[in-house]
């Protein structure tokens, strides 16, 4: 039919050509592109990785690693990890064997000096202190424990014991009442030490200490008779000690532990004086030491 009407055919060809060109231009425009290519099924996005599978691709955020045992050291770390302040009271109760030797006591106010030596030894068991033996008085100690296990600190102790007693002497129809004071014993100690602490587990450990201390013990007694007479005597001993002890640590809960220890102290140098009525009667050099077993408490921050 088109060959019969050449003008119409030409117009139709021009029309179809322009329409095809416009469709081609529209197809190249980004806004006109189909979201889904024809002939392909709809595409779905991949699901995000789930936590716990151990894989976090870039862009989704890496999962934080679990804190290591070393990284957990801090204010709430177990004993033996990190840096801690140790506060201990030792001994609370225990047993001590003490020996002392007075070498060449000098008898003042007399002709010449004495040349004899006197040795004594005692065994004592005490609960919450015994001023008759400074080594059994509870000592409050502060130590710093470093991550390496090294500990550095010091201790302080104080004890006092005394009282009065009334003694009545009867002879036939007469009686005499005398008030006497029980010997008043005051003891004081201060020391410094360094050691090593190691925990086998969070519950069980060991703590070894070496150090030095100064101890002073003074005993005074006064008595008064029926005629108003009064006599006061004083004996004091002091010395520098070399100390060592080892303690088993049992920590049932965090920040608290029991100490089960054994140790000893050796007097490096010491002296003793006796006074009566304010006058020094005897002076002597003292040597001796202490061996003991004890139980204490430990807290750490």
Written as six digits, the tokens of 178 are: 């005398």
Q: Nearest-5° angle of CA 72, CA 246, CA 240?
A: 120
pLDDT of residue 230: 67
CATH 2.30.30 fits 84-300, yes or no: no
| Chain-centroid distance, C-alpha 56 | 42
pLDDT of residue 165: 65
pLDDT of residue 12: 43
pLDDT of residue 167: 67
Written as six digits, the tokens of 260 are: 């089960």
**Domain ranges in the chain?**
1-37, 84-300
pLDDT of residue 209: 97
Residue 218 backbone dihedrals phi, psi, to 5 degrees: -130, 135
Low-confidence ranges of the chain (pLDDT < 70): 1-76, 104-116, 130-133, 163-165, 167, 169-172, 178-181, 223-230, 278
pLDDT of residue 222: 72
Written as six digits, the tokens of 120 are: 């004594």
Phi-psi region of 82 (alpha: psi -120 to 50; beta: other; left: phi over 0): left
């Amino acid at each position: 039919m088109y060959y019969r009407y050449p003008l119409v055919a030409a117009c139709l060809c021009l029309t179809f050509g322009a329409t095809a060109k416009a469709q081609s231009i529209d197809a190249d425009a980004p806004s006109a592109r189909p979201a889904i290519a024809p002939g392909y099924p709809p595409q779905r996005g991949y699901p995000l990785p789930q936590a716990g599978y151990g894989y976090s691709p870039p862009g989704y955020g890496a999962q934080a690693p679990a804190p290591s045992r070393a990284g957990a050291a801090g204010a709430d770390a177990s004993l033996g990890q990190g840096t801690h302040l140790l506060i201990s009271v030792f001994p609370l109760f225990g047993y001590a064997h003490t020996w002392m030797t007075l070498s060449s006591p000098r008898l003042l106010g007399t002709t010449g000096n004495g040349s004899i030596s006197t040795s004594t030894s005692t065994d004592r068991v005490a609960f919450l202190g015994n001023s008759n033996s400074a080594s059994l008085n509870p000592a409050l100690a502060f130590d710093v424990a470093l991550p390496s296990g090294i500990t550095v600190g010091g201790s302080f102790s104080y004890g006092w014991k005394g009282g009065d007693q009334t003694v009545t002497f009867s002879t036939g129809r007469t009686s005499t009442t005398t008030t006497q004071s029980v010997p008043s014993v005051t003891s004081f100690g201060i020391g410094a030490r360094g050691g090593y602490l190691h925990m086998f587990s969070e519950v069980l450990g060991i703590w070894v200490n070496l150090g030095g201390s100064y101890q002073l013990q003074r005993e005074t007694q006064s008595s008064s008779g029926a005629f108003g007479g009064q006599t006061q005597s004083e004996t004091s001993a002091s010395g520098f000690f070399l100390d060592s002890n080892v303690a088993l640590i049992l920590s049932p809960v965090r920040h608290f532990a029991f100490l089960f220890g054994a140790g000893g102290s050796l007097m490096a140098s010491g002296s003793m004086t006796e006074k009566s009525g304010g006058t020094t009667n005897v002076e002597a050099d003292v040597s001796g030491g202490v061996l003991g077993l004890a139980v204490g408490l430990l807290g750490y921050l």
